[in-house]
A and B are shown apart, each in its own frame.
Chain A
Amino acid sequence: MKRADYVSTTNACKLCKPLGACLAFRGIEGAVPMLHGSQGCATYMRRYIISHFREPMDIASSSLGEKHAVYGGGPNLKQGLKNLMTKFGAAMIGVATTCLTETIGDDVPMIIREFRKEMEEAGDGPGLPSLVSVSTPSYSGTHMEGFHAAVGAVVDQLCAGDLLCANSEGKFVNLLPGFLSPADLRHLKEIVADFGLGCVMLPDISETLDGPALEDYEKIPAGGTPISGIKRMGCAAATLEFGRTLEGGATAGMILHKRFGLPLHQSGIPIGLRETDAFFKALEQASGMKTPEKHQSEKGRLVDSYVDAHKYLFGKRAVIYGEEDLVIGLTAFLAEIGIKPVLCASGGRGGRFASCIEHVTAGLLETPPMVEEGADFQKIEELCQELAPDLLVGHSKGYRLSKKLGVPLIRVGFPIHDRFGGQRTLHAGYRGTQMLLDRIVNAVLEKAQEDSAIGYGYM
């Protein structure tokens, strides 16, 4: 049957909004994410995040029941905050709402103000952790909107306008990377440091969701953006914010720009040559330093391998799906190496997806790829019947489609729960692009080898 525009969603290509907020809060030092709603949300999101990262992931809940759904969840939220303070010693609690509390209309900022006042009156003011709240109704946007909303809320609520900046702090930039893997974030920090710059990266899940084995298990894992650093973000030389769909929006970078007049460099996620070049150029500007030799060499090797890989990849048809900004970055890269992206799909409906895809493929493709906003896997599958892709690039949820089509799936992004090491997948920078390129070529080679009856061992 030919698909009309269905109202139902079958095999979704997006996760829910509060999940993204919890991920972002997890990237702040000493922070515990908390969901204001039914406890099932926290449990479901924890188990989902854990299955990707294979790391502990705590999300507290205000555990609302039927009574609270009727009379309001304020008392439960306050009790939850108090228990979290005493039991976890949290430096920050990030409260995200859920569809339950948004539907009943709980005013979380007000409840938190009351809580703060009550604690201060009881003499517990000095021990209070930073409290940040964000509105994340699951019926409005995807996990990525939740992620960015949480980053924006942290900046908005923790970065006070009356900041005295001292030269002794040294020159640093704010880096707002979006939702990348811990391996990506470690690499990005290395790059910024190589330019002699300090860096406040918000959020930073590079250690909190990919931590080492320690002798002593910590209730709240080490790492994450220090809160003291967040409070000084207004003193940075500039803000670098990844995500082409974010441009012009009320993002954390924009808040910093408006409140402190910080220069804001918005660019795509640095995947592929051109998007990575833009990132390095921004760092050159901010530091006044040329790209260090180490990275120039990495770029040189990448370009060399583009040439080597071309004969295997040229004209291959790819379907790319997942979060809008990740798909845009991947598409920019794939178009550079001669692959023909035939479909870019996302469960998100940000409204800027198509124009961004067109922008990053301009001059490289004869025709821009088909772009589907608000897509689910049923729709992607139907489109694939005519598009006949040679490979899929996206997260684990595309596995069944790849099996049905008999084409390789290059696993990137989140969630990856049918392979090992999802949290260590490197996508960003010249180095990340190199690793993606190698994986893609090898997947194509493996497929060609398997499809051949002859048994070529020399490809």
Chain B
Amino acid sequence: MAASKTDPAPGIESVDPGELKAELVAKYPTKVGRKRAKQIVINSVDECGEVPEIGANARTIPGIITQRGCSYAGCKGVVLGPTRDIVNLTHGPIGCGFYSWLTRRNQTRPDGPGDANFMTYCFSTDLQDEDIVFGGEKKLRQAIREIYENFRPKAIGIFATCPVGLIGDDVHAVAREMKEELGINIFGFSCEGYKGVSQSAGHHIANNALFTHVVGLDDTASEGKFKINLLGEYNIGGDAFEIERIMDEAGITVVSTFSGNSTYDKFANSHTADLNTVMCHRSINYVAEMMEKKYGIPWIKVNFIGAASTAKTLRKIANYFEDEELIERVEKLIAEEMVEVEKVRREVESRCAGKLAMLFVGGSRAHHYQDLFAEIGMKTVAAGYEFAHRDDYEGRAVLPEIKVDADSRNIEELAVEPDPERFNPRKSEEALSRLKAKGFRFKDYDGMMAEMASGTLIIDDISQFETEKLIEKYKPAIFCAGIKEKYAIQKKGIPMKQLHSYDSGGPYAGFKGAINFWREIDRMVNSKVWGYLKAPWQESPELTATYGWE
């Protein structure tokens, strides 16, 4: 794949991306069109791997049907949602809590009947008129007492919704007070929905509070010779279970996952790991950065989506530990796993190669799932993130250039210093230089664009109108997004794979996950069902609203 990066993606010669972009932008009012023009980029990767600049992490235009959610969704729904034994208490009217009530299909595996699992619960202060007028803090305190009485959790997180910030309720003050009163850890998140431009703000807020209130509380040395944390893996469809299986077999200990299949105690103990591995760069890089500064734990970017990527990631982790036995064990494991993987890959490739895919989802999935498609010969012709920043597109090298705007400034950046007692650089200066000399890269993320072919389209925060146009022009074999887009796209006769909730499927991570995913894509793009629902361009060039079977 690497060799073709600078060549145009084959199979899309019929579409001129420049013309398409002009057409997309022209349909908007002038001011809106100017803004969108920055967020719609025709990819070009030069010899040095340089890519063009893209507009990202900017406010959504009102009245455009966006894929994006809010700060609360990123904080409570995404980052804290998958932790089973922290009670997540939504402070606000009922909707926010209800809509984030285990809707992301995060899985968890309690250790036994005695192990708490609150993920199937939805806790809310359910604010009413009088609380908005007179303040909701009293109700919040009472709700916390009730939860403590009924459930005796190890910790309670309080999540602020839009009206809470506006009426001046101080969730942090209440948290401190109740922590004192009840003697368990209680912490607040100022993740009001209007903060920031998308759920990305909520990820950052969640990272900050976890780092401040939980990480580092338990110094018990974790067991194992090769200890890592897995950051930015949320165990949708059991992804984390498959990664845990691989790690177990490789003899690598996962101290804590942020936050798939996670527990409070594991977060508290996570600073005893010797390496942080980052899956979803967008949602969790803050914790990785802060743990490096405070505890001396280096971080690397990893990717368990795709069989070859999983193998590459395992080798990278083994090389970090510079242990011959581990390196050998990892090689043996990869060789064993690849037998079945390769068999299925070839079979599916024979039916899928050459077909086109589009991915518009998340802050990392739209990038990493391209590997899975590439392995079965499918080409990604357009992709984009819902809520990513420029570094997720252009790579971390662009970080110093990113302008801090008013929306970003409202999200706190924690000032982190090395911990006087716990700071312990896991690698000596000498070891670091040795590794770097061998080409080992720390804090490395080159972003989505460097790995996509020139001439492909990169669209940030895609709107529904743009989605329709893309489908019409490229006629992809599959489109990947979320449930909001699913049925609109499938009415056009295009299979739509959900990469948020996996359409009840999964796992798709690791070796077994790759097999699952390919089988699923094979079923979807080669199903006969689409034949009953002809897409407009398949039969009549004139668009008419007639029934598919007429």
Could you tell me which A residues sit within 8 Å of B by CB distance? 1, 6-12, 14-19, 34, 37-41, 43-48, 50-51, 54-69, 76-77, 79-84, 86-87, 98-100, 102-104, 137-140, 142, 211-219, 222, 347, 378, 400
Please indicate the chain A residues that have their CB under 8 angstroms from the CB of B535 in the complex: 215
Size bracket, chain B contacts? 35 or more
Interchain CA distance A44-B161 in the complex, whole Å: 13
User: What's the minimum C-beta distance from B111 to chain A, rounded to whole angstroms?
Assistant: 20
- Are B487 and A55 closer than 8 Å at their CB atoms? yes
Known: A8-B125, A214-B545, A222-B545. A43 touches B67 (CB 8 A): yes
In the assembled complex, B157 has its CB within 8 A of some CB on chain A: no
* 9 sampled A-B residue pairs with Cβ under 8 A: A1-B150, A10-B150, A14-B94, A16-B96, A37-B162, A82-B63, A87-B465, A215-B540, A216-B544
- Are B492 and A217 closer than 8 Å at their CB atoms? yes
Interchain CA distance A59-B62 in the complex, whole Å: 11
Interchain CA distance A14-B124 in the complex, whole Å: 12
A34's nearest neighbour on chain B, judged by CB, is B63
A76's nearest neighbour on chain B, judged by CB, is B62
Interchain CA distance A221-B128 in the complex, whole Å: 35
Interchain CA distance A58-B165 in the complex, whole Å: 28
Chain B 69-109 interface 0/1 with A at a Cβ cutoff of 8 Å (1 = within):
11111000000000000000100111111111101000000
- Are A83 and B63 closer than 8 Å at their CB atoms? yes
Report the stretch among B141-149, B240-248, B286-294, B507-515 that lies at the interface: B141-149
Please indicate the chain B residues that have their CB under 8 angstroms from the CB of A69 in the complex: 162, 165-166, 194
Interchain CA distance A7-B192 in the complex, whole Å: 22
Please indicate the chain B residues that have their CB under 8 angstroms from the CB of A64 in the complex: 194
User: What's the minimum C-beta distance from A256 to chain B, rounded to whole angstroms?
Assistant: 28
Please indicate the chain B residues that have their CB under 8 angstroms from the CB of A100 in the complex: 162-163, 166, 193-194
Our pick among B63, B139, B161 for the contact of A81 (Cβ within 8 Å) is B63
B485's nearest neighbour on chain A, judged by CB, is A56
Interchain CA distance A162-B122 in the complex, whole Å: 49
4 further interface pairs, Cβ-Cβ under 8 Å (given A61-B60, A138-B94) = A10-B121, A11-B121, A215-B547, A217-B488
In the assembled complex, B218 has its CB within 8 A of some CB on chain A: no
Chain B 526-550 interface 0/1 with A at a Cβ cutoff of 8 Å (1 = within):
0000001111100110011111111
- Are B128 and A79 closer than 8 Å at their CB atoms? no
- Are B487 and A16 closer than 8 Å at their CB atoms? no
The CB with the most chain A CB atoms within 10 A, among B29, B126, B139, B406, is that of B126
Please indicate the chain B residues that have their CB under 8 angstroms from the CB of A378 in the complex: 150
Could you tell me which B residues sit within 8 Å of A by CB distance? 27-29, 32, 59-73, 89, 92-101, 103, 120-129, 131-132, 139, 142-143, 146-147, 149-150, 161-163, 165-167, 192-197, 199, 406-407, 410, 464-465, 468, 482-484, 486-488, 491-492, 532-536, 539-540, 543-550
Interchain CA distance A378-B101 in the complex, whole Å: 14
4 residue pairs, one from A and one from B, having the closest CB atoms: A40-B70, A16-B95, A80-B63, A83-B63
- Are B548 and A213 closer than 8 Å at their CB atoms? yes
The CB with the most chain A CB atoms within 10 A, among B127, B194, B546, is that of B194
User: What's the minimum C-beta distance from A75 to chain B, rounded to whole angstroms?
Assistant: 9
Our pick among A12, A18, A34, A217 for the contact of B98 (Cβ within 8 Å) is A12
- Are A8 and B126 closer than 8 Å at their CB atoms? yes
Interchain CA distance A20-B64 in the complex, whole Å: 21
Please indicate the chain B residues that have their CB under 8 angstroms from the CB of A46 in the complex: 484
- Are B63 and A62 closer than 8 Å at their CB atoms? yes
- Are B66 and A43 closer than 8 Å at their CB atoms? yes
Interchain CA distance A363-B531 in the complex, whole Å: 56
Interchain CA distance A8-B488 in the complex, whole Å: 38
- Are B122 and A10 closer than 8 Å at their CB atoms? yes
Please indicate the chain B residues that have their CB under 8 angstroms from the CB of A9 in the complex: 94, 97, 123-126
Please indicate the chain A residues that have their CB under 8 angstroms from the CB of B143 in the complex: 6-8
Please indicate the chain A residues that have their CB under 8 angstroms from the CB of B64 in the complex: 60, 83, 87
Please indicate the chain A residues that have their CB under 8 angstroms from the CB of B165 in the complex: 69
Our pick among B95, B149, B468 for the contact of A217 (Cβ within 8 Å) is B468
User: What's the minimum C-beta distance from B143 to chain A, rounded to whole angstroms?
Assistant: 4
Please indicate the chain B residues that have their CB under 8 angstroms from the CB of A76 in the complex: 62
- Are B103 and A47 closer than 8 Å at their CB atoms? yes
Interchain CA distance A66-B408 in the complex, whole Å: 11
Please indicate the chain A residues that have their CB under 8 angstroms from the CB of B67 in the complex: 43
The CB with the most chain B CB atoms within 10 A, among A9, A39, A211, is that of A39
- Are A18 and B95 closer than 8 Å at their CB atoms? yes
- Are A61 and B62 closer than 8 Å at their CB atoms? yes
Interchain CA distance A451-B456 in the complex, whole Å: 59
Interchain CA distance A55-B487 in the complex, whole Å: 5
Please indicate the chain B residues that have their CB under 8 angstroms from the CB of A44 in the complex: 69, 73, 95-96, 99-100
User: What's the minimum C-beta distance from A31 to chain B, rounded to whole angstroms?
Assistant: 14
User: What's the minimum C-beta distance from B295 to chain A, rounded to whole angstroms?
Assistant: 32
- Are B163 and A103 closer than 8 Å at their CB atoms? yes
Please indicate the chain A residues that have their CB under 8 angstroms from the CB of B29 in the complex: 82-83, 86
Known: A8-B143, A43-B67. A213 touches B533 (CB 8 A): yes
